Structure 1
Amino acid sequence: METSRITILGCGSMGTNLMLGLLRRGSSTFRYSAHVNSSASAERLQKDLAGVDSTVKDRVSVSSGNGKLCEAVTGADVVLLGVPPTQLGTLLGCEGLVAELKGKIIVSMLAGVAISQIEDALVSRGFAKQDFHVARIIPTLGAGKGDSVTLLAEAGGEHMEKVKGFLSQIGAIVPVPESLMNSATAVMAAVHALAIVAVDAVTDASVAAGVPRSVAASIAAESLRSGSGLMSGNGAERMTPEQVKAGMSTPGGITLNALVSLDAKTRPGISSAVREAIEYTKKMND
């Protein structure tokens, strides 16, 4: 892969995890620049990097404040936007930044913000649309462990192969039509919310029945991973929910009884939560 330097503008929880994943699993030829808004955020980021091997950590430079913004971008092949969506205009308004972004691959992690919106914001600073190569992704916190599920808006251009190249280092890539990115983002968020609630509820119920909390939490989380693993991937080994259900539902069995109860009490709530998440995502940046 040709990319040698990746800059991340805005290293909150998601940006930090993505960078840590790339550091641990990306090419040893990669170099990184991480830029944050304040010195306090820079100190927090340095602490997060403390657990990374020193030979790897040396490939990262951390900076903060508007005065260092253009410097962080200079020399980068890829620039990831990790600021909150509401701060996009402020970020691009920093003196000299858009000029530095010219010719680079810009990868947005801004939920609810379309590629066209970013292109319009860049063009409004006096540049042409063809001066920039914009991609749009939504990773997950699993990126830090190389286990992200990263949504990638389908778009043309040779730059997409470079984007796929480094994203493949942090987990699975799910290509999604740009028109469906908001809905896909909401679905992914809802599934994570469901997993959190499910593991938490199962753990509490198990503890109430006498199972130690650490044991219950481990059983819940690992069982969720095992079950979802049967339905993930590609090819003949991938099972549908119906196939998993049939395989685990012996007559009069525990799993089948649990499914009957969940179908009656929980399924409508899950469907409602997903639909509400989709509607919320569509409106969040109006």
Structure 2
Amino acid sequence: MSKKIVFLGCGSMGEAILTGLLAAGTPPQSVTVTVRRPERAEELAQAHGVTALASNEEGNANVEAVAGADVVILAVKPVGIAELCREVADALAPGAVVISVAAAVSLEQLEGALRPGQPVVRSMPNTPLKVGRGVVALSAGKAADEHHLAAAHEIFDGSGVVLDVPEDQQDAVSAISGSGPAYAFYLAEAMAAAAQEFGLSAEIAQILARETVAGAGLMLAEPGADATALRRGVTSPHGTTEQAIATFDDQGLPGIVSAGAKAAAARAAQMTEELAGK
């Protein structure tokens, strides 16, 4: 990718995207990053070879960075997105595609804070991007055509699987893949706690749970893998696993997971409304 790419903000998620982008072959010299603290700017410049500016030192850093950019990635917290858009709106090239990674910030809110006709893409990445196993859902704004969407795909392709979804499905995506890694970690916590109830040490319990969940995830990542088929392959008739799965069903685990996901989606919708009112 020979485009000029700018990251406005670069926390853990932004750096995960940046790492994947560079690993996929993007030249570091084509990337500019802005952050607040000079220490963080120096850290990013040293680690990745990119140009990094600190807005606490250079008050006009964001505006200077986006000038002439082809792709601008908004990687600050949701509460600051609209203000950031207004700050850089007039400096953006008309054809520059603006990609937001902020949860719960709608395309309407993004477009309303930018100049009319600015191409915008909303994304929902998840934290496994940090290890190149993420999943990202993209939704294109009114002015974003197939070329702008393709540019957004290029940004994330080095970090995981990229999917296109209608924006009205973004809350569902957030509830499943956005929050989903925490569900897997929660399961590992519960498995470790159960192991300790059997008398295993905390260290061994954590290793058993961690490596089992991680290993199962790798099996799911194999081409053509199917969770139901993999589960059935481990569940021998009248065996121990069958007893565990039957107990999970009796205790209503599928319904609990569904209820949790619905609560997450509802909260995402609520956050969108709250941010719209700011």
**TM-score in terms of structure 1 length:** 0.82
Q: Is the 8 A contact 1:6 1:79 kept in 2?
A: yes
| CA distance in structure 1 between the partners assigned to 2:183 and 2:161 by the alignment | 20
- Identical positions, percent: 25
SS across alignment from 1:93: helix
- Please give the per-residue CA displacement for 1:39-83, whole angstroms capped at 9, x wherever unaligned: 2xx424544676x4xxxx223423223421212222322110112
Which residue number in structure 2 is paired with residue 134 of structure 1? 120
| CA distance in structure 2 between the partners assigned to 1:141 and 1:70 by the alignment | 28
Which residue number in structure 2 is paired with residue 272 of structure 1? 259
SS across alignment from 1:113: coil
Q: Superposed, which structure 2 residues align to 1:172-191 within 5 Å?
A: 172-191=161-180
Select which of 226, 233, 249 maps to 1:263.
249
Select which of 49, 52, 64 maps to 1:61.
52
1:143 aligns with 2:129: yes
Which residue number in structure 1 is paired with residue 100 of structure 2? 108
| CA distance in structure 2 between the partners assigned to 1:177 and 1:269 by the alignment | 26
Give the Å deviation of 1:272.
1.1
Question: In 2 relative to 1, CA 263–45 (structure 1 residues): closer, same or farther, beyond 3 Å?
Answer: farther
Q: CA RMSD in A?
A: 2.4
Give the Å deviation of 1:114.
2.2
1:216 aligns with 2:202: no
Which amino acid letter does the alignment assign opposite residue 134 of structure 2? S
User: Structure 1 unaligned runs (5+)?
Assistant: none
SS across alignment from 1:122: coil
Which amino acid letter does the alignment assign opposite residue 283 of structure 1? Q
| CA distance in structure 1 between the partners assigned to 2:42 and 2:126 by the alignment | 21
Q: Is the 8 A contact 1:20 1:49 kept in 2?
A: no
Question: In 2 relative to 1, CA 216–172 (structure 1 residues): closer, same or farther, beyond 3 Å?
Answer: farther
Q: Superposed, which structure 2 residues align to 1:108-257 within 5 Å?
A: 108-123=100-115, 128-129=116-117, 132-153=118-139, 156-232=145-221, 237-241=224-228, 243-257=229-243
Q: Is the 8 A contact 1:18 1:141 kept in 2?
A: no
Question: In 2 relative to 1, CA 258–62 (structure 1 residues): closer, same or farther, beyond 3 Å?
Answer: farther
- Greater displacement, 211-220 / 252-261: 211-220
| CA distance in structure 2 between the partners assigned to 1:164 and 1:145 by the alignment | 18
User: Structure 2 unaligned runs (5+)?
Assistant: 274-278
Question: In 2 relative to 1, CA 22–216 (structure 1 residues): closer, same or farther, beyond 3 Å?
Answer: farther
Question: In 2 relative to 1, CA 252–48 (structure 1 residues): closer, same or farther, beyond 3 Å?
Answer: farther
Which amino acid letter does the alignment assign opposite residue 8 of structure 1? F
Give the Å deviation of 1:9.
0.9
**TM-score in terms of structure 2 length:** 0.84
Question: In 2 relative to 1, CA 49–272 (structure 1 residues): closer, same or farther, beyond 3 Å?
Answer: farther
| CA distance in structure 2 between the partners assigned to 1:195 and 1:223 by the alignment | 11
Give the Å deviation of 1:213.
3.8
SS across alignment from 1:257: helix
Q: Which runs of 4+ in 1 moved over 6 A?
A: none
| CA distance in structure 2 between the partners assigned to 1:10 and 1:70 by the alignment | 13
How many residues of Structure 1 are paired with residues of Structure 2 in the alignment? Answer: 265
- Greater displacement, 105-114 / 223-232: 223-232
